[in-house]
Structure 1
Amino acid sequence: MIAGAGVLVALGLAVALVAVLQGGDDGGGGSADASSPAASVTATGLSAGQAEAHAVATRVAMAPQDWGAGYAKSEDYEADPADESHVTSGCEWVTRASRAGTLASVYRGVYYESSGNSSSTEVRVFTDAATAESYMRDVEANTHRCPSQHSGKSRWTGIREATAPSVTGFDEVVAEEGTQSADSEGKKTDFRYVYFTGRVGNTVLITIALDEPANAAALNKRGKDTLQELQQRLEAASTTAQQ
C-alpha cells in the first residue's frame, strides 16, 4: 500500500507500488566464487562486490527530498533487499526471492502530499550484463502474460506494452502501462500507471508512477524524467565508487 493524504492506495503489479515488498531473503546469493577477491567478506557480512553494489544502489534509489518539495515517504517506504515481481500463469501478481547473481536490490516509494499520487524507484545490480538482461526479459514476459492481473482483492486491467520513453544512457528500455481498477480492499478505482525499466550494463533501473486518468500526459513525463534522473544518479554514483 501507498499512503497519501490519509488514503491507502494499493499499487502493486510491477516491482514497486506494493506493500508486499518486504525484501528478499537471499541478498543476491551465489554471486562470486569464494576464492576470488570479490568474495572477501566485509564487516557487514556482504562480499566486497555486494557491498560496493549496495552502496551504489542506495545512492541511486530516490528518497523524498530527491523528488522535490511536497513529497513524503510511503507507508512501505523501503525494501532492502527487494524481492522480484512475477506474474503467474493464473495472472496473479506475486513476489519471489531475487535470482542468483543479484548483488543488491533497493526499492523506495514516495507520494505527493497534496494529491496522494504515488511514485517509486528501484535499483537492481547484478554480477553481469547477462543476468541483468535475463531480468529484463522476465519484465517483458510479465507484461505480456495477462492483460488483467490480480493480487488478493487488488485488480489491474488494460495491461500492455507501452512505447518506451526517449531517454539517453541506457542499453535498453521497456515500458508498461495499465489501470488499477480495484484496491487492496476490493474497492473500485481508476488510476493510470506507467512502469519503465531500463538497463545500463549490469544494472537495472525501475520507476513506477500512478495518477488520475486526466493527468496521463503528465504521468508519462514524470516517469520519463525519473528514469533519466536515475541514469544520471547511477553515472555519478559509479564514478564515485571507482575513485
Structure 2
Amino acid sequence: MTLPAVVGVAAAAVAVVWWLLPLGGDEEGSASGPSGGASASRPPAAATKAAGGPVYTALPPACRTVSEATVERLVPGAERTSSGNNTFGYCGYGPSSGRGAERWLEIDSRLYSATGAITPVDSARRHFDIKWRLARQVTEERTVTLEEQPGLGDQAYRWFRVDRSRPLAIGEVAVRSGNVVITVRYTERTDGGTPSARQRQRSLEEAAAVAREVLRNLR
C-alpha cells in the first residue's frame, strides 16, 4: 500500500513534532487560524469526570481494533500495513497494487504513561492539546473545518482538509480516552478542486465511526 506521498509527509511531520514537544510547552498560535468558529482557537474541553478518564496499561494491535467489514466498506480490497507495540500502534489500509478506488484509512493509537509527577491522563491530555494546536498551524494542506467533536471520548476534534497539490480530501477525527489518544484519517479523491459539503460530512462521519469502533476495542 502506498499512501499519497504528500499526505504521508504532512501527517508524519505533525506526528513527530507532537510526539517530541515538551509537555510544558505552549506554542504561539498561527497568525490566521482555520475556519470552524471562535472555538477553534482553543482545544476541545475535557469531559467532566473526576478521574479524568480510564487508565489503560497496554494497546491492542491497531489493525484488530477495526472490523474487516468496516475496512471492506471504506477501502474495498485494501492492502494493509501495520506497526507498533504496547504503547504505540499504526494501521493503514489502501488500494491493492493500484487497483480499486483511491481511498485510504489510517489508525494511529498512542498510550501515555506517568512522567514524574504528571499522571498518565494528564500526559495524554497535554499531548492532545499540542496535537490540536499543531493542526491549526499545518500549511501543507488547506484546512476547511477544524472543530470540536462532541460525544466522543474525553476530548475529541474533527478536521477536514484538502491537499494543496493533489485532488485529495482528508477527514480526521482525534479522540482522547483517559491516557490514550487515537487518530483516524480517511482520505479519498475529490471530484474537483473543492470537496462538496456532502463529501466533507461523509468523510468526517466515517472517521468518527471508526474512532468509536477503536474505542470499544481498547482493553
**TM-score range normalised by the length of the shorter chain:** 0.5 to 0.7
In 2, the alpha carbon distance for the partners of 1:61 and 1:14 equals: 21
Residue 64 to residue 180, structure 1, CA distance change in 2 (3 Å): farther
Using the alignment, how far apart are the partners of 2:210 and 2:14 within structure 1? 15
Structure (1/2) with the larger strand percentage? 1
Q: Which runs of 5+ in 1 are unaligned?
A: 25-49, 82-102, 150-155, 183-188, 239-243
TM-score under structure 1 normalisation?
A: 0.56
Q: Say if 2:134 is the partner of 1:132.
A: no
Give me the whole-angstrom Cα distance separating, in 1, the residues matched to 2:127 and 2:181. 8
Partner residue of 1:110 out of 90, 93, 97: 93
Any residues of structure 2 matched to 1:164-183 within 5 Å, and which?
164-168=148-152, 170-182=153-165
Q: Deviations over 1:92-136 (max 9, x none)?
A: xxxxxxxxxxx6110110025520210111111111101101210
C-alpha separation in 1, matches of 2:91 and 2:145:
24
Indicate the SS of the match to 2:11. coil
How do residues 31-46 of structure 1 correspond to structure 2 at under 5 angstroms?
Answer: none
Q: What letter is aligned with 2:200? A: A
Residue of structure 1 equivalent to 2:82: 78
8 A contact 2:62–2:107 mirrored in 1: no
Aligned-residue offset at 1:230: 1.2
Within 5 A, what are the aligned runs for 1:50-61?
53-54=58-59, 56-58=60-62, 61=65
Runs of 5+ unmatched residues, structure 2: 20-55, 114-119
Query: Within 5 Å, which residues of 2 pair with 1:1-243?
Result: 2-3=1-2, 9-10=4-5, 11-12=7-8, 13-14=10-11, 53-54=58-59, 56-58=60-62, 61-62=65-66, 67-68=71-72, 70-74=76-80, 77-80=81-84, 104-111=87-94, 114-127=100-113, 128-146=120-138, 148-149=139-140, 156=141, 158-159=142-143, 162-168=146-152, 170-182=153-165, 189-211=166-188, 212=190, 213-214=195-196, 215-234=199-218, 238=219
Residue 102 of structure 2: SS of its match in structure 1?
A: coil
- Aligned residue number for residue 29 of structure 1: none
Q: CA separation of 1:105/1:16 partners in 2, compared to 1, >3 Å: closer, same or farther?
A: farther
Q: 1:71 to 1:61 in 2, by over 3 A?
A: farther
Letter in structure 1 aligned against 2:127: Y
Judged with a 3 Å threshold, the aligned counterparts in structure 2 of structure 1 residues 16 and 53 are, in CA distance, closer, same or farther, namely farther
Q: Distance in 2 between matches of 1:144 and 1:210?
A: 19
CA distance in 2, matches of 1:16, 1:229: 26
Q: Name the CA shift for 1:136/1:17 in 2 (closer, same or farther; >3 Å).
A: closer
In structure 1, what is the Cα distance between the partners aligned to 2:207 and 2:178?
21
State how many pairs are aligned.
162
Taking every aligned residue pair, what percent have the same amino acid on both sides? 12
TM-score, normalised to structure 2, is 0.61
Instruction: Report the aligned-residue RMSD.
Output: 3.3
Give, in whole Å, the separation in 1 of the partners of 2:62 and 2:92. Answer: 13
Distance 1:17 1:209, change over 3 A: farther
Indicate if the aligned counterparts of 1:71 and 1:110 stay in contact, CA closer than 8 A. no
Equivalent position SS for 1:115: coil
For 2:167, what is the secondary structure of its paired residue? strand
